[in-house]
């Protein structure tokens, strides 16, 4: 049995702010299936022995909807090499258009978007494989200022040492294809009182214009820097009697007694919304120690480092492929058994998350049990939509989606006639493991105790797995102020984080078709199940499509009608009036219900659930609950905030969908 998520229950408080720790998010998860439902036999592709026809769908927007249009060839040839924030206003507006085919004011929802939405739901309801999980993004972490009870604090301290005492400094050397480090002189070797491998200097103590090209931490043009320097130093004594190194005469002219490098790491403004950097110091590395032997960097450590590079670590002055691995550059490292096993461009570098008894850095896919992602098995979604299993095994799909085109828009189409700038939606942060990993109390991972939380070095699948399929809650009626960024200063301050869009308003009706060929009864039933969402009586459900789902955008209502093509009847005559004879007949409601029941029975039999309907299974209950209209209170489906109080700090665990509301006893302490 896979680990099962435990929701938080205890009262936890920040004594200073009296803030209660309870995690909120506009998303939640459908748990992983315990068992896959597979398809062993697929119909021949040269005959029609099963169901063929189409589903005619009417789709109405229930909240603003936006699907971005790709760049036209002419636009791409002129501006395709530019990043979005580098474009001028007219060019940004051109990129902001809703998807269209012929005319910009005639929005179209591409069939590929509809296909993706339906397929993902069939994968969930059909107990399919968990295969769309990345192996490219590797998990690294830093826990410099983490509290003592943070689960990452101890493993990070074990690697770097308390206060970074295990961290050394040196210079990179390349021998053929191997990377080595030449250690730098340590302050203690030169008679200074410092016990670290480098010196620290506060930025305010660096004289203006002393270092050519030096940019201060709060300079708009600031980037990580390496400056070759010289300096003098004295040993002084503090009022408390502690000796310390006082650096003076620092410059880049080489006139000082001591030589080395000033290493300036990131100012952290690229990862938060602060106006001023909270950093105030830089590191100084002494010159090479000619008497020290070179140390080889472990080959697997290099692979782990490169695979875990963030976009920031691929920008200048770093190498776009190897990060800080540039010959001759200063580097900080930790040595084990005569080799460098961990390293980075700054003293408090990120380290890879590695499972116990393993050497490879972990990635999200490592938290998916192997039996749920086997290429040797075919699930219902693959049977319907097609698949490619390596070079030797592939299968064409048997469903085809048309674009959705506008049918009715009595009160207009556009949410706003002008392009709008929405609030920032950042990419998911894998370091927020308390949201993305199962916390199972039975496995000693109590969600109410931060120090016991499962993290990215916790064995999987024995103790934790990923939470499952990520879906967003509906938020009911969505207004303009719920979406747009009203703070112009923020847009001007952080232009790289903002985009522009032109959404459709709620109340616009589209129509599209899903053509299908040779589907078995349970396969057609699966398609109809996810279109109709047969849940609890009296409940209404909506699908989600397009961008801006965390704001509540993209809620749509689908009403399907099934039409069957009788293949044997079709060739009995050629014409019907002025058209070809298609032998198409509308399928009555009771026949649709029968097909859906066939699908449900197929799933229930294979997963071993003795239920009458699929919506009685806990996992499917969660799916339907997350698609319920109009969704929970928006207070329960917001993002956690960083300002004025950092609500992420104590790592509150995201509850399961049925427990997103804190217990009544859970409140701020008086």
Contacts 24+ apart (CB under 8 A), 659-662: 659/7, 660/24, 660/28, 660/632, 660/636, 661/632, 661/633, 661/636, 662/20, 662/22
Within 127-217, residue ranges assigned H as helices are 153-160
- 552 sits in the region (left: phi over 0; alpha: psi -120 to 50; else beta) called left
Report the predicted TM-score, pTM, of the whole model to 2 decimal places.
0.87
The helix or strand, by DSSP H or E, that contains position 76, with its residue range, turns out to be helix 73-79
Report d(CA 644, CA 440) in Å as an integer.
Answer: 31
Helix (H, G, I), strand (E, B) or coil at 509: strand
Residue partners of 264: CB distance under 8 A and separation at least 6: 214, 215, 217, 224, 225, 226, 227, 282
Helix (H, G, I), strand (E, B) or coil at 647: coil
- Which of 300, 346, 339, 341 is closest to 323 using CA atoms? 346
Strand partners, 297: 340
| The pLDDT of residue 670 | 35
Vertex 460 angle, CA 459 and 461, to 5°:
135
- Residue ranges, the chain, pLDDT below 70: 11-20, 145, 268-277, 391, 426-428, 430, 664-670
| The pLDDT of residue 357 | 75
31-49 pLDDT, tens digit each? 999 999 999 888 887 777 8
Token pair, residue 194, equals: 């410092």
248-257 pLDDT, tens digit each? 999 988 889 9
Q: What is the DSSP letter of 492?
A: H
Query: Is the Cβ–Cβ distance between 563 and 592 less than 8 Å?
Result: no
């Amino acid at each position: 049995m896979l680990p099962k998520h435990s929701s938080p229950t205890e009262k936890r408080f920040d004594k200073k702010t009296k803030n209660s720790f309870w995690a909120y998010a506009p998303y939640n998860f459908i748990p992983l299936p315990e068992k896959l439902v597979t398809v062993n036999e697929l119909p021949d592709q040269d005959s029609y022995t099963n169901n063929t026809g189409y589903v005619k769908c009417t789709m109405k927007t229930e909240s603003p909807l936006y699907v971005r249009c790709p760049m036209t060839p002419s636009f791409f040839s002129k501006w395709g090499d530019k990043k979005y924030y580098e474009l001028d206003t007219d060019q940004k507006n051109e990129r902001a258009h809703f998807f269209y085919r012929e005319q910009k004011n005639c929005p179209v929802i591409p069939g590929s978007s509809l296909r993706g939405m339906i397929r993902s739901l069939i994968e969930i309801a059909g107990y399919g494989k968990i295969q769309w999980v990345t192996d490219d993004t590797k998990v690294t972490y830093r826990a410099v200022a983490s509290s003592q009870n943070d689960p990452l604090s101890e493993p990070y301290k074990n690697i770097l040492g308390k206060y970074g005492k295990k961290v050394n400094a040196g210079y990179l050397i390349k021998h053929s294809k191997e990377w080595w480090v030449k250690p730098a002189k340590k302050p203690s070797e030169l008679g200074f009182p410092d016990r670290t491998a480098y010196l620290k200097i506060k930025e305010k103590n660096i004289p203006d214009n002393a270092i050519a090209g030096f940019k201060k931490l709060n300079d708009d043009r600031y980037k990580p820097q390496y400056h070759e320097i010289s300096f003098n130093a004295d040993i002084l004594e503090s009022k408390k009697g502690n000796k310390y190194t006082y650096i003076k005469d620092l410059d880049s002219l080489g006139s000082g007694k001591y030589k080395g490098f000033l290493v300036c790491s990131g100012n952290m403004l690229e990862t938060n919304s602060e106006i001023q950097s909270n950093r105030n110091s830089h590191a100084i590395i002494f010159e090479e120690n000619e008497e020290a032997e070179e140390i080889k960097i472990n080959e697997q450590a290099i692979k782990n480092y490169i695979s875990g590079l963030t976009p920031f670590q691929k920008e200048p002055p770093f190498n776009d492929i190897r990060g800080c691995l540039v010959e001759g550059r200063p580097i900080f490292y930790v040595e084990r058994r005569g080799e460098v096993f961990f390293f980075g461009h700054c003293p408090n570098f990120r380290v890879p998350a590695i499972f116990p008894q393993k050497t490879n850095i972990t990635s999200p896919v490592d938290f998916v049990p192997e039996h749920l992602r086997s290429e040797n098995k075919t699930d219902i979604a693959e049977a319907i939509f097609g698949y490619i299993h390596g070079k030797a095994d592939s299968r064409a799909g048997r469903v085809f989606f048309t674009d959705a085109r506008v049918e009715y828009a009595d009160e207009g189409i556009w949410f706003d006639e002008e392009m709008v700038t929405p609030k920032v939606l950042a990419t998911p942060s894998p370091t927020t493991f308390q949201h993305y990993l199962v916390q199972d109390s039975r496995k000693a991972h109590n969600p109410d105790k931060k120090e016991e939380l499962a993290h990215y070095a916790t064995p999987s699948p024995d103790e934790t797995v990923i939470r499952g399929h990520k879906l967003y809650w509906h938020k009911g009626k969505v207004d303009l102020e719920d979406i747009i960024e009203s703070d112009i200063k923020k847009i001007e301050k952080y232009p790289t984080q903002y985009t522009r869009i032109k959404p459709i308003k709620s109340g616009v009706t589209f129509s599209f078709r899903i053509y299908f060929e040779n589907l078995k009864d349970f396969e057609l039933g699966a398609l109809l199940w996810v279109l109709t969402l047969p849940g609890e009586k009296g409940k209404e459900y909506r699908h989600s499509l397009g961008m801006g789902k965390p704001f509540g955008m993209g809620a749509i209502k689908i009403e399907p009608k099934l039409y069957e093509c009788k293949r044997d009847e079709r060739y009995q005559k050629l014409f019907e009036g002025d058209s070809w004879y298609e032998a198409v007949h509308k399928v009555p409601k009771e026949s649709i219900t029968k097909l859906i029941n066939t699908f449900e029975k197929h799933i229930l039999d294979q997963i071993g659930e003795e239920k009458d309907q699929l919506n009685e299974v806990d996992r499917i209950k969660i799916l339907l609950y997350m698609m319920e209209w109009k969704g929970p209170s928006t207070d329960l489906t917001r993002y956690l905030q960083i300002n004025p109080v950092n609500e992420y700090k104590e790592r509150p665990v995201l509850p399961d969908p049925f427990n997103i509301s804190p217990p009544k006893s859970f409140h701020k302490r008086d």
